[in-house]
Amino acid sequence: MMYAPAISLGVNLRLLAEGPQVGAARVIRDVVVGDYNDEATVCEFAAGCDVITFDHEHVPTRILRGLVADGKLVRPGPDALQHAQDKLLMRQRLTRALDAPAPTWRHCLDPAGLRAFGDEIGWPIIAKASRGGYDGHGVWKLAGPTDCERPFTESKDASAGEPVEIIGEEFVDFAREMSVLIVRSPSGQAVSYPVSETIQLDGVCRETVTPAPGLSDAQASEIARLGLDIADELQVVGMLAVELMQRRDGRVVINELAMRPHNTGHWTIDGAHTSQFENHLRAVLDLPLGDPRARDPWCVMVNVLGGDVDDLTGELLHCFARDPRLRVEFYGKQLRPGRKVGHVVCYGDDLDQVRNRARHAAGHLMGQIKEGR
């Protein structure tokens, strides 16, 4: 999705791909297939690039530091990126530097430490692996003291030998989740997209509504300010997504950070004046940033997950015939049940209508709505 704006901006992209069949490798011509965990592979790849950026956060910090030491432009740089790679580091830094709102948390060294934390603040609690988590992996809801071994054994199994720390967190009985997207350039220009409400199911983002319904202007500004302060404190370059939980009394706490174009910003491709992908590239190139505002009063994005439909493009006949303003993006991924393979976006003046249109199209593409078959 970064490729389309790269063409418009006249930028050549070179891709380091995990395999020849990944979605981006099927559209970008200049592709190196290799392992981003291998230092020699990354260095050789980087040698011909003017600037390096990412669409995930998993390239080891140590390799990125090596690139910076060699004089390469890495954006975002490893000093910023590590706060999206390591949740413990993120909690420590944001608490210390900004006193940013967070659930009550503690670095727990062993199961006994986690048990003591739970006994102190009350059960259930959440435990998180500091590194390597995604889509709910590496997050455990612990009902009581007897669950406390699990995060330590299960995170070790998944860590491939990397040291993983465990964080205990208060279980936030949130009213809803939200995200705010910030983009910041090396010159220090930064802008905020409107705050989105995000709906997760089993740790996977299913839907976003922008702007978050019912959020007052004052709260929206406060959240944008928080995101801009974080981007500035960490000297982020490119997109920053701040994932938030809103308590039932209205206050928000930070869940985690991502430093890349983010699923909760996919609505911006069609729904904002400048998409997160274009603004990410502009920031990485230190160009002036584009207008992040929404084009219409409401914009709803619904993810398409692999279901029992195996010809997604074939199903577009029904979707497009029914809704000429529907926007669809497929990712060129192999269809697997539950895997994000695309998304749909609708925008307009009436939230209920916009949401129903988007849900209908996504439901149809996932095989959940049979109408039109």
Which CB, 136 or 250, lies closer to ligand ADP? Answer: 136
Minimum gap (Å) between residue 170 Cβ and ligand ADP:
6
Which CB, 138 or 211, lies closer to ligand ADP? Answer: 138
Minimum gap (Å) between residue 166 Cβ and ligand ADP:
13
Minimum gap (Å) between residue 223 Cβ and ligand ADP:
16
How far the first Cα of the chain sits from its last, in Å, is 29
Minimum gap (Å) between residue 84 Cβ and ligand ADP:
10
Which CB, 103 or 111, lies closer to ligand ADP? Answer: 103
Minimum gap (Å) between residue 93 Cβ and ligand ADP:
16
Which CB, 128 or 282, lies closer to ligand ADP? Answer: 128
Which CB, 75 or 128, lies closer to ligand ADP? Answer: 128
Minimum gap (Å) between residue 140 Cβ and ligand ADP:
10
Residues forming contacts to ligand ADP in the complex (CB under 6 A) are 103, 126, 128, 133-139, 169-172, 177, 200, 203, 243, 255-256
- Residue 105 and residue 169 in contact, taking contact as beta carbons nearer than 8 Å: yes
Minimum gap (Å) between residue 338 Cβ and ligand ADP:
14
Query: b or e along 311-336 (b: 16 or more beta carbons within 10 Å of the residue's beta carbon)?
Result: ebeebbebbeeeeeebbbbbbeeebe
Which CB, 253 or 312, lies closer to ligand ADP? Answer: 253
Phi, psi of 309 (to 5 degrees): -100, 125
Which CB, 173 or 349, lies closer to ligand ADP? Answer: 173
Q: Between vectors from CA 84 to CA 292 and to CA 101, what angle results, nearest 5°?
A: 80
Residue 295's beta-bridge partner residues? Answer: none
Cα distances (angstroms) measured from residue 95 to each of 11, 101, 106, 303:
38, 8, 12, 33
